[in-house]
Structure 1
């Protein structure tokens, strides 16, 4: 057993972790792995998690919440999504080619029977490949999806609408699978975003998230409709539909399926961007990647490492009259539970969390 952190470990962080995003000061939105201000159990910190709470007057007693890595799964999901997108290129070509043959048949243009057979074979081959690719991608994506949602339990974040179990279960409920996964994705997005954790931080836009879900949903709806508009050869032979209706249905169905394939290509690209974005945010939350500039709320000028500039007299914009210099917007003197006389300014009468220890915990304790 070692008495100190492994080589390369930063005080109060994982090995190789970047300094804190606000000039090294710990913040409730950014758990400091290995740096609990109080209540560390004997033997130090187990690897792979984050501490919650432990700041008197701000949070309940500290507890350990495990965090699982996302980077490897995110890479696997991105590769599989790229493979599915490539298969969809073949699928779009196959459907549009066969749709053109249906059009030639309706207009009385001649073509060889071998062309029709080749078109059918290409459609069947692309659908078979797409089935295998989509199944493998769905399995890995749902593992990543559930892990990403579970990780958000390890830090302070906005309240979730649905529990983490719906990250998997929501995909298997007919019709509801067009709604529930998006709710979970929205929870994961807003709870992973590190910007709101900073003072005056503004949440990132959800345009990318919504674009992915809308395009993905439309592709699935069009693909289902493409099968519903077709007529079968058996119906033609039984006299239930005309041969012309069979041709028109086949052409319309193949064109819709081709458009669905193009939408799935776009959805795959957008999904890769969403996966990489959330994965990067969670790495920043854990201090494994540096945090970029904070996006401030409207009317809040930056002033220092992650804090807005105070107004004349030392008050932050929006402070209540009578606030002490350095108080956050909306704070009142001594308004926080557990306020102590002589507290440092900037914490609403509450002492800030202590600085990281000079010697990290034992990461090799089992």
Structure 2
């Protein structure tokens, strides 16, 4: 039985030469991990939303009739809200760490795919998240330049222009959800009246709903940018002096 000739193995799109000392690294594994983590974020957000709705309903009943809610119901409501906040905080830390690692990797890859496109050093893909007020703008700026730099070339070998709608929706929803969550949490902690507790629970509920939307958009953003970079990497890096 004659052996079937085997051709040379298909080279990995990430087996590329260094550009300014930077090498392409696959972000696919991190993107898969983030998809799982964001699914958990959504699940805990749903639980937190239920806890907030329960707190709000209890406050509505108390306003209608101060004897309509038992101490056991109030204790259960507070315990439920506390557990929801704890779970949200823990999954947010883990997801945030993995996201920043992925974000830094795709930003570093973009430096190979489009040298000089982003004037900020690639270390800002990590540091920008931890600078007060600047973290409302700089990560978005890096996301936009990384998205643009990762856009594959078309058949005419010209870079295609892809709309930034997904990036804009993700970032806007993410920031608004963070602001509402922060404000709602502070209001809840300092609430001294039934009306204030009800208002805080309403704000936190709105923040949880927005956080669910932001998590869905984040998954779409991560998967889309990862796929774009994979396709762009298969076309070969642009080796150019900066």
TM-score in terms of structure 1 length: 0.58
Q: Which residue of 2 aligns with 1:49?
A: 16
Q: Secondary structure at the match of 1:49?
A: coil
Structure 1: 5+ residue runs without aligned partners? 1-5, 18-32, 34-47, 53-62, 237-245, 289-366
- Write the distance in 2 (CA, Å) between the matches of 1:147 and 1:177: 18
What SS does structure 2 have at the residue aligned with 1:128?
helix
1:198, CA displacement in angstroms? 4.7
Aligned-residue Cα RMSD (Å) equals 2.4
The answer to whether the aligner puts 1:204 opposite 2:162 as a matched pair is: yes
CA contact (8 A) 2:166 2:217 kept: yes
* Gap change, CA 1:87 and 1:197, over 3 Å in 2: farther
The whole-number CA distance in structure 1 between the counterparts of 2:131 and 2:22 is 30
* Alpha-carbon separation, structure 2, partners of 1:231 and 1:154: 47
Aligned length: 229
SS in 1 for 2:180: helix
Q: Is the 8 A contact 1:67 1:151 kept in 2?
A: yes
Tell me by how many angstroms 1:227 deviates.
Answer: 3.2
1:269 and 2:236 matched:
no
Q: TM-score, normalised by structure 2?
A: 0.86
Q: Deviations over 1:240-289 (max 9, x none)?
A: xxxxxx1111000011101101111111110011111111111111218x
SS in 1 for 2:120: coil
- 33, 36, 48: which is aligned to 1:91? 48
C-alpha distance 203-9 of structure 1, shift in aligned 2 (>3 A): same
**1:279 and 2:237 are equivalent in the alignment:** no
Q: Secondary structure, in 3 states, of the residue corresponding to 1:69? A: coil
Give runs of aligned pairs for residues 145-156 of structure 1, distance below 5 A: 145-156=103-114
Taking the aligned partners of 1:180 and 1:258, their CA distance within structure 2 comes to 28
Q: Determine helix, strand or coil for the equivalent of 2:118.
A: coil
- Does the aligned pair in 1 maintain the 2:56–2:202 contact within 8 Å? yes
- Structure 1's 180 and 114: CA in aligned 2 closer, same or farther, altered over 3 A? same
Larger radius of gyration between Structure 1 and Structure 2: 1
| Inter-partner Cα distance in structure 1 for 2:165 and 2:103 | 19
Change (3 A) 1:64 1:162: closer
| Structure 2 unaligned regions, length at least 5 | 1-5, 236-242
Indicate which of 171, 184, 187 corresponds to 2:142: 184
Local SS of the residue matching 1:286: helix
Q: Which whole-Å CA distance do the structure 2 matches of 1:95 and 1:139 have between them?
A: 26
Shift of 1:196: 6.9
Q: After TM superposition, list the pairs within 5 Å mapping 1:1-366 onto structure 2.
A: 8-10=8-10, 14-15=11-12, 48-50=15-17, 65-108=22-65, 110-156=68-114, 159-195=117-153, 198-230=156-188, 232=190, 246-287=193-234
Q: Give the structure, 1 or 2, with the largest relative contact order (CA under 8 Å, sep 6 or more).
A: 2
- Note the C-alpha offset of 1:131: 1.1
Cα distance 1:275–1:247, how it changes in 2: closer, same or farther (>3 A)?
same
